[in-house]
A = this chain, B = another copy of it.
Amino acid sequence: MTFPPVIAVTVDLVILTVQEGEFRVLLVRRGAPPFAGDWALPGGYVLAEEDLLDAAHRELSEETGLGRDEHLEQLATYGAPDRDPRGRTITVAWLALTPSAGDPTAGTDAVEAAWWPVSRALATDLAFDHDVILRDGVERARAKLEYSSLGAAFCPPEFTVSQLREVYEAVWGESLDPRNFHRKVTRTPGFLEPTEHTASAEAGRPARLYRRGGVELLNPPMTR
């Protein structure tokens, strides 16, 4: 018996997006045991000399081809002794918020990767303890929209107030008053930065385009 005990370390990612007005999460179908054939969060082992954040970024780009400009924050670490049948393994889970992206690419151990509606993923048995990790990640994302300006992380670089509102509605699963929402986000200093451009109107008056402002914390917060 060695001391300190030998423990393997992985990173797992809760990658969230809003596509077509729907709140979605990236899942991969496992190609190898354990849990072969089951859906899981993308992730993998941390390398010997690799920082945890670097490992998370590496997995993120392997699974989605996304760069380093997505929002990525540590979620929590999960380490029940029996959570991986291969042996003692703890996983550092990360939360990534990305604008609507294209099709995901299945990574090394995965046979398939797909965007799932969050509500359906939450109701599905995932591999390992990924149900719990997903639930915590979704909860964190919903809470963060309230007291930070992170809703814009789901939007492209330039976006309209309506697009941003649709993000909030998709993540929270409730509809918001367009007028009060508009007032809140445009009159909170530093939340949005107006551009010179306007969106081409599909119908009705064209909307002004905005960029993310510099403010991180909202005070007072948004209200669901």
Contact = CB atoms under 8 A, between A and B. Distances in A.
Contact of A47 (B5, B9, B47, B49): B5
A6 interface: yes
Contact of A5 (B5, B46, B76, B80): B46
Nearest to A220: B220
Given A74-B76, A79-B46, A88-B48, A7 B9 contact: yes
A45 B8 contact: no
A89 B90 CA distance: 13
A116 interface: no
Q: Please state the number of chain copies in the assembly.
A: 2
Nearest to A93: B77
Nearest to A51: B80
Band of interface residues on A: 20 to 34
B81 A3 contact: no
A77 B49 contact: no
Contact of A90 (B9, B45, B80): B9
A102 interface: no
Contacts of A220: 220
A123 interface: no
Given A50-B81, A52-B90, 5 more contacts: A1-B48, A49-B81, A49-B88, A51-B80, A77-B77
Interface of A: 1, 3-10, 45-52, 74, 76-81, 88-90, 92, 147, 220-221
For the complex of A and B, list the 6 residue pairs with the smallest distance between their C-beta atoms, beginning with the closest.
A5-B48, A52-B79, A4-B45, A4-B8, A77-B77, A7-B9
